[in-house]
């Protein structure tokens, strides 16, 4: 069997996918770039912000002819996510984002207690797994950095299940709230061992039973004044929008985008009329006539869409325009660091690897 070092030496291999434990991403991404291999790097890109800055600002990565390096946030490459984003950031009918929410759940018991995700020395924890998605979604929706962590609370691996000295620094779940420079707020829930919350049954009966919740992203937008040709003199028409995307991680299997627009007619500060308009959408392909329309088939998964764009970038083709650049990946890890700090936890350990000259 070929080892990873063997792959890097093989001249017939142009690109590698790095899905090693989080703590090894920094080292092997640099080794691969030095070996002139294009790199699809599993999220999170690194163990912390320090590593991310060192990786994405490295001279080998910044060089004009550097191999392609992409952090694998696959959901962003699917038409469902891009349609969701277009409904949020439609300046014609949507005001600025006031609040964003992202959530991810996994059944309790799916991940055994000897899994690498529960090891601090391997940069494990919920924020380094599902939490990376929730924070990334939040940053996409808000379109600015959640620079202030208002609150962060975590649930650790049970001490009875951890024989490691750093066991109490591993989060099974994290909830956090954020605020941006403009005053918009955001919240996340990332839980790798979800239990309880069963409907119609007492919580004491179900608190230890595995449970689940839908992956969901939500955006609440401020009011926007819109043109209304039927409005009488002195009347103003406002729209306030809310958009929810269900199952953004596997939209090719199933997803739904809910759009609710609340309309109000004002005159001299008095509300004359209000009504709601709702629609449920699905988006498995790019709109007809869009420059991205060639970029996929309805059955493509998020991973397929991502791989297509990765190859486009390597080949120098135009592609869809969807990408995750190095600056984005750095800010992503810095947001995770801020969350851990607010929760009173240690940052994941920094690699001691130095690239040989």
Query: pLDDT tens for residues 14-62?
Result: 999 999 999 999 999 999 999 999 999 999 999 999 999 999 999 999 9
DSSP, residue by residue, 2-70:
--HHHHHH-TT--EEEE-S-GGGHHHHHHHHHHTT-EEEEPSSSSSSHHHHHHHHTSHHHHSTTPPPEE
What value does the mean pLDDT take over residues 263-282?
A: 93
Query: Which pLDDT value is given to residue 265?
Result: 94
- Please name which of 250, 280, 213, 220 lies closest in space to residue 81, comparing C-alpha atoms: 250
Query: Which pLDDT value is given to residue 138?
Result: 98
- Please name which of 178, 191, 187 lies closest in space to residue 125, comparing C-alpha atoms: 191
What value does the mean pLDDT take over residues 243-269?
A: 95
Contact criterion met (CB below 8 Å) for 135 and 43: no
Tell me the C-alpha to C-alpha distance, in Å, between residue 315 and each of 1, 27, 33, 71.
29, 25, 17, 18
What value does the mean pLDDT take over residues 220-249?
A: 90
State yes or no: pLDDT of 223 exceeds 80. Answer: yes
How far, in Å, CA of 171 to CA of 331, rounded?
Answer: 21
Tokens at residue 155, please? Answer: 């649930």
42: Cβ–Cβ under 8 A, 6 or more apart, which residues?
A: 17, 18, 19, 20, 25, 72
Q: What is the pTM of this model?
A: 0.93
Percent pLDDT > 90 in the chain is 77
- CB 84: neighbour CB atoms within 10 A? 27
Considering only residues 202 and 153, tell me which one the structure prediction assigns the higher pLDDT: 153
What value does the mean pLDDT take over residues 152-175?
A: 78
State yes or no: pLDDT of 165 exceeds 50. Answer: no
Query: pLDDT tens for residues 61-77?
Result: 999 999 999 999 999 99
Give the chain's length.
Answer: 357
Query: Which pLDDT value is given to residue 160?
Result: 55
Omega before 44 cis (within 30°)? Answer: yes
User: 215-238: buried (b, 16+ CB within 10 Å) or exposed (e) per residue?
Assistant: bbbbbbbebbebeeeebeeeeebb
Query: Which pLDDT value is given to residue 159?
Result: 66
How far, in Å, CA of 72 to CA of 250, rounded?
Answer: 14
109: Cβ–Cβ under 8 A, 6 or more apart, which residues?
A: 193, 210
State yes or no: pLDDT of 168 exceeds 90. Answer: no
Considering only residues 297 and 312, tell me which one the structure prediction assigns the higher pLDDT: 312
Query: pLDDT tens for residues 318-353?
Result: 888 899 999 999 999 999 999 999 999 999 999 999
Q: What is the DSSP letter of 241?
A: E
């Amino acid at each position: 069997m070929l080892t990873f070092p063997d792959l890097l030496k093989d001249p017939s291999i142009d690109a590698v996918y790095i899905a090693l434990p989080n703590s090894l991403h920094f080292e092997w991404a640099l080794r691969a770039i030095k070996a002139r291999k294009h790199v699809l790097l599993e999220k999170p890109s690194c163990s912390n912000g320090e590593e991310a800055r060192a990786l994405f600002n490295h001279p080998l990565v910044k060089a004009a002819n550097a191999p392609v390096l992409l952090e694998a946030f696959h959901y962003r490459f699917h038409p469902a996510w891009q349609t969701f984003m277009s409904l949020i950031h439609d300046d014609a009918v949507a005001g600025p984002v006031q609040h964003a929410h992202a959530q991810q759940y996994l059944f309790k018991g799916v991940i055994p207690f000897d899994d690498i995700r529960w090891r601090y020395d391997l940069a494990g924890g919920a924020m380094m797994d599902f939490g990376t998605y929730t924070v990334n979604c939040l940053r996409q929706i808000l379109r600015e950095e959640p620079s202030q962590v208002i609150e962060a609370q975590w649930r650790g691996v049970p001490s009875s299940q951890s024989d490691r000295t750093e066991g109490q620094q591993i989060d099974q779940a994290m909830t956090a709230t954020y605020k941006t420079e403009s005053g918009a707020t955001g919240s996340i829930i990332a839980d790798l061992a979800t239990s309880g919350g069963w409907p119609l049954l007492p919580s004491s009966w179900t608190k230890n039973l595995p449970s689940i919740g839908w992956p969901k992203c939500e955006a609440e937008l401020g009011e926007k004044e819109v043109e209304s040709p039927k409005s009488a003199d002195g009347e103003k028409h406002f729209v306030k929008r809310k958009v929810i995307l269900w199952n953004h991680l596997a939209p090719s299997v199933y997803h739904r985008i809910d759009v609710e627009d609340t309309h109000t007619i004002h005159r001299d500060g008095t509300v004359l009329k209000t009504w709601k308009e709702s629609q449920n959408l699905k988006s498995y392909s790019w709109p007809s006539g869009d420059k991205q329309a060639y970029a996929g088939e309805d059955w493509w998964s998020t991973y397929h869409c991502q791989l297509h764009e990765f190859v486009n970038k390597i080949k120098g083709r135009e592609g869809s325009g969807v990408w995750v650049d190095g600056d984005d990946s750095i800010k992503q890890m810095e947001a995770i660091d801020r969350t851990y700090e607010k929760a009173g936890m240690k940052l994941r350990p920094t690699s001691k690897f130095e690239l040989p000259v």
